[in-house]
Amino acid sequence: MTATTGDPPPPEARVAKRRGVELSLLVGAVLISVLGYAAVGLALDAAAPPDALTHGAGLGLLALVAHLAVRFRAPYADPLLLPIAVLLNGIGLVLLHRLDLATPGERDAPAQLVWSTLGVALFIAVVVVLRDHRVLQRYAYLSMAAALVLMVLPIFFPAVNGARIWIRIGELSFQPGEFAKILLAVFFAAYLAANHNALACTGRRIWWFQLPSGRVLGPVVAIWLLSVVVLILERDLGTSLLFFGLFVILLYVATGRTGWIAVGLLLAGVGAVAVGWLEPHVHGRVEDWLDPFASIDAGRGPGQLAQSLFAFAAGGMFGTGLGLGRSVLIGFAAKSDFILATAGEELGLLGLTAILVLYALLVARGYRAGLGLRDPFGRLLAVGLASIVALQVFVIAGGVTGLIPLTGMAMPFLAQGGSSVVTNWVIVALLIRLSHSARRPLPEPVEAGVIAPAVVVAGPVPGTGPSTGTTATGGER
Amino acid sequence: MTGQIRLAAACCLLLFAALLVNAARVQVIQADSLDRNPANRRAAIDRFEQPRGRILVDGRPVTGSRDTRQQLRYERTYAQGPLYAPVTGYASQTYGTTLLENAEDGILAGTDPMLAPLPFWNDITRGRRPGGSVVTTISSAAQRAAYTGLDGRRGAVAAIEPATGRILALVSSPSYDPGRLSGTGSAVADTWRRYNDDAAQPMLNRAIRQTYPPGSAFKIVTAAAALDTGAVEDVDKPTGVPDPYVLPGTRTRLPNDTRGCDQESLAYAIKWSCNSVMAGLGVRVGLDGMVDAVGRFGFNDRRLRIPSGVAVSNFDREMSDDQLALSSIGQYDTTATPLQMAMVASAVANGGNLTYPRLVERTLDADGDTVSRTGQRSYGRAMKPSTAYRLRQLMVDAVETGTGTSAGIEGATVGGKTGTAQHGVGNSGTPYAWFISWARADGAARPAVAVAVVVEDAEAVRGDISGGGDAAPIARAVMEAALAEAR
């Protein structure tokens, strides 16, 4: 994590826009993807695929259009965000193409390319239309309601592989839960930004422990609990874990109370153990995590997790090389939840490390934008979005490598799944907008947060300004 | 807020660090044990990803490959499966490999480091080379002669070139088609079950993996021990062993199948197969002398490889004299593989020098360049040259005017010894017919072939079974084929 000061740059200083850096990084990202595509063809057909150039041109065109949007509408944005997204998406397409070749009759890479195009289109739309992230504060409650609706919808549709997270309309299937992540992050950030003083400084004191007043905390906890319950009903454990982590992080960043983290983790532990014991679907996952080879000993052959571990092991340090792995053995989830196993097997620990470092950089840049911003909503939103990426990567990568029990979730940008790709492009678009605001030399006048504080603080609280922006040093306590 | 954001960022960093450490744990530390997990199909898939190398007989491949486009892609095919099954074994996706397919698997599958152009090449490239070929010592003519000679009856033939140790024929009958075990699926499993349930045990390699009581054929070994130790100095002098011979320390009389064995000489005993004389000589040599002598022929050797493992031919190391007497005529606990008995004949034919038997001439890489040669090596001196000379005379006599007349060949010197081995509880089982022999073309410096034939025919009437009747014609056919090649 790069250390930056929270101080905004002095207004008269010329800040480098770094768009040229972004462009050259994009060229590199597209080149790596095209080379990967060619490597798959060389390995499997002993000839470079004839469409490698068109493939590269397509990806390059997407990257270029996105770059132009950033260049003209968010010129001060962080130059790393877009290239990382393009590179991860490119690697994802290569891996899917490689798995397509191993699974005759399935063509998922082209569909993923269409979704990626849609994602980039949405990215451009967000960057162009959303002039200032603070506008989003006005829609906090609306986005909360929309998120809940989106999460409840799949209950009315049939379950797929044990989880009710899909909406099917004809041929198209869509995971609304994916998009709900962003909406909830917006709501949490807006609500906590509007009320963070009240949360931090009001309420009773019990021993050394200061409870925030229930009236402030109540609504947000209710929303959060509701979403977690819904997700557990839908058996979408990964996302409920993600929301839980997101909520705890934002609460901590907004209030600065470590006690809450402890309480949150304790609650999470109790909840996880309870669900893990009581829910058969989850219980099976936990059992599998404790002993991935139990099914082998029982004579039923290796399960998905065992196959995934086999794939990672086969990759070793340097990998088998693109196209030469056997991760197809994992089965039907090889392209979605277990896409990382293909990366691990064919690119080795080296390649896997590179991919994880790309994610870490993306997260770090998101946090950095949060540090550079001056309004609490923007800060919380940047932290929230970056945390979503970090938690998603941790939950699914930890799951497929046997670090934590496996919960289904899409690896951002890599895994097959239209909803996930589109959602992540929107996250990157928001981070672009946020980082542009953070690095912009001339601070624009701050608009008032539209969310009204739920509690009017009686009397001025020392050390805090009004909720319309704190001092840039930001350290309230 | 800044401090909290930094701390939260640090927590996320910790999550990534945990992921990386765990990935290293799986991909590096645990990688070997995961790779070796029997449920991990990668090794099997890699193994069958390329066509398997060929096994050659007389320069022609007797194996092939079939591309199935399945997960375990290339399946092994066999040109004349049942004929060469005791040599090649099978190489099955489902049941693994045996015999040559197993012993030379590194060459055939392309994993042998010798195939790589540079040391550690395979480790670096993580690949495998195209499979190499294995050149066998088998003579197709001798092999075929043995196989058609047995004609589906239960039995086995092993033939060796005495001077070099090259195995010319290795036949087991009835046989099976190893090609039908290649691949996966219910057809393969059914075939496997049928072969294993078959009372005739077609998958048993009787030539090297089954031991039989050698019966009278073992008398050659006893004779060699008696001559070497000096228990007999002149083959034509009466040995003084009475007929009927009472087993030492018991009241049991040892019956003879032939008349006139009383007090007879070693020469007569070998020619007419006298039990009494040979049992008496075995006791005269003594346990230590006998154990020592049989060991030099290859009995009790657990490490015999051709390169496949050979079942141990047994001669007990601790016995009372009556048991020793029975053991000396190839009964009691004495058992031998057909290959072992071929080695006995080979040692006699080769002047007492036993050459180590071998099935692989050399191995080639995919381009046909030699990877390794199987060197000719001596197993050791089985007996004195003078002893071998005398035994050759006795064996020639047995063929010319004794029990083995049906093995005689025009234009060649042939020596042989019949054997009829009792077995089963109270000798109730059908006796096995044995014939061991060797042949040298007239004018040739060295014998061309030594052969051992065993026929265990459950169908025949008891009286018809004799080494001379059943086994000797098969031995003659094999020797004729080998002699024709040697010319």
Write down how long chain B is.
487
Element (H, E) at B308: none
What string of H, E and C letters represents the secondary structure of A135-151? HHHHHHHHHHHHHHHHH
Distance from CA of B193 to the nearest CA of A (A): 20
Say whether the peptide bond before residue B307 is cis (omega within 30 degrees of 0).
Answer: yes
**Residue B254: strand pairing partners:** B245
Nearest CA in chain A to B4: A253
* B430 torsion bin: left (phi>0), alpha (psi -120 to 50), beta (else): beta
Q: What is the pLDDT of residues A71-105, one digit of tens each?
A: 999 999 999 999 999 999 999 999 999 999 888 88
Count of CB atoms within 10 A of residue A415's CB?
24
Of A314, A356, A387, which is closest to B8 when you measure between CB atoms?
A: A387
Of A296, A313, A367, which is closest to B27 when you measure between CB atoms?
A: A313
pLDDT at residue A214, as a whole number: 66
- In chain A the first and final C-alpha atoms are separated, in Å, by 22
DSSP tag of A346:
H
What residue type is B308 in one-letter code? S
What residue type is B337 in one-letter code? T
> Could you tell me if A154 and A166 are in contact, meaning their C-beta atoms sit under 8 angstroms apart?
yes
Output phi, psi for B404, to 5 deg. -110, 35
> Can you tell me which residue has the tokens 């063929």?
B399
> Could you tell me if B345 and B454 are in contact, meaning their C-beta atoms sit under 8 angstroms apart?
no
**Residue B437: strand pairing partners:** B416, B451
DSSP tag of B221:
H
Asked if B31 lies within 8 A of A313 by C-beta distance, the reply is: yes
Per DSSP, the residues of A11-43 read TTSPPP--HHHHHHHHHHHHHHHHHHHHHHHHH
Specify whether B33 is catalytic: no
3-state secondary structure of A322: coil
Of B11, B23, B32, which is closest to A344 when you measure between CB atoms?
A: B23
Nearest CA in chain A to B28: A316
Element (H, E) at A168: strand A167-169
- In chain B the first and final C-alpha atoms are separated, in Å, by 100
What residue type is A5 in one-letter code? T
Q: Tell me which residue of B332, B253, B262, B255 sits closest to B290, measured CA to CA.
A: B332
Query: Buried (b) or exposed (e) across A130-144, using 16+ Cβ within 10 A?
Result: beebbebbebbeebb
Distance, in Å, from the CA atom of A145 to the CA atom of A139, rounded to the nearest integer, reads 10
Residue A398 CA to chain centroid, in angstroms? 15
Asked if B39 lies within 8 A of A371 by C-beta distance, the reply is: no
Cβ–Cβ contact A470 with B under 8 A? yes
What residue type is A161 in one-letter code? N
Asked if A293 lies within 8 A of B23 by C-beta distance, the reply is: no
Average pLDDT over residues A399-425: 91
Write down how long chain A is.
477
Distance from CA of B70 to the nearest CA of A (A): 12
Question: Which positions of chain B have pLDDT values less than 70?
Answer: 121-127, 423-429, 458-468
For residue A252, give both structure tokens.
């901590």
> Could you tell me if A339 and A112 are in contact, meaning their C-beta atoms sit under 8 angstroms apart?
no
Distance, in Å, from the CA atom of B136 to the CA atom of B54, rounded to the nearest integer, reads 11
Quickly state the pLDDT bin for A284 (edges 50, 70, 90): confident
Nearest CA in chain B to A312: B27
pLDDT at residue A433, as a whole number: 96
Q: What is the pLDDT of residues A222-233, one digit of tens each?
A: 777 777 777 677
DSSP tag of A327:
G
- When scoring B7, B26, B184 by the number of chain A Cβ atoms within 10 A, the one with the most, hence best to mutate, is B26
Q: Residue A475 pLDDT more than 50?
A: no
Distance, in Å, from the CA atom of B283 to the CA atom of A232, rounded to the nearest integer, reads 87
> Could you tell me if B451 and B475 are in contact, meaning their C-beta atoms sit under 8 angstroms apart?
yes
Contacts of B346 (CB under 8 A, 6+ apart): B160, B162, B165, B354, B355, B357, B438, B450
DSSP tag of B467:
I
For residue B302, give both structure tokens.
């657990």
> Could you tell me if B465 and B433 are in contact, meaning their C-beta atoms sit under 8 angstroms apart?
yes
pLDDT at residue A55, as a whole number: 85
Most confidently predicted of A243-252, A317-326, B16-25, B257-266: B16-25
What average pLDDT is seen over chain A? 83
pLDDT at residue B465, as a whole number: 47
Candidates B172, B216, B346, B466; catalytic one: B216
Count of CB atoms within 10 A of residue B377's CB?
10
pLDDT at residue B205, as a whole number: 96
**CB-side neighbour CA atoms (13 Å) of B109:** 24
- When scoring A310, A375, A406 by the number of chain B Cβ atoms within 10 A, the one with the most, hence best to mutate, is A310
Q: What is the pLDDT of residues A423-468, one digit of tens each?
A: 999 999 999 999 999 998 865 555 544 555 554 444 444 444 344 4
CA Rg, chain B, in Å?
Answer: 28
> Could you tell me if B288 and B321 are in contact, meaning their C-beta atoms sit under 8 angstroms apart?
no
Sign of the torsion formed by the C-alpha atoms of B21, B25, B26 and B31: positive
Which residues does chain A have within 8 Å of residue B27's beta carbon, measured at their own beta carbons?
A: 312-313, 315-317, 344, 348-349, 352
Asked if A313 lies within 8 A of B34 by C-beta distance, the reply is: yes
Count of CB atoms within 10 A of residue A158's CB?
8
Interface of A with B in 247-286 (CB under 8 A): 249, 252-254, 256
Asked if A326 lies within 8 A of B41 by C-beta distance, the reply is: yes
Asked if B30 lies within 8 A of A360 by C-beta distance, the reply is: no
Distance, in Å, from the CA atom of A236 to the CA atom of A230, rounded to the nearest integer, reads 9
Q: Residue A246 pLDDT more than 80?
A: yes
Question: What is the percent of chain A with per-residue pLDDT over 70, rounded to a whole number?
Answer: 82
> Could you tell me if B350 and B125 are in contact, meaning their C-beta atoms sit under 8 angstroms apart?
no
Helices (H), A153-257: 176-201, 214-233, 237-255
Nearest CA in chain B to A249: B8
What residue type is B468 in one-letter code? G
**CB-side neighbour CA atoms (13 Å) of B190:** 3
What residue type is A340 in one-letter code? L
Sign of the torsion formed by the C-alpha atoms of A39, A40, A46 and A49: negative
Q: Residue A5 pLDDT more than 70?
A: no
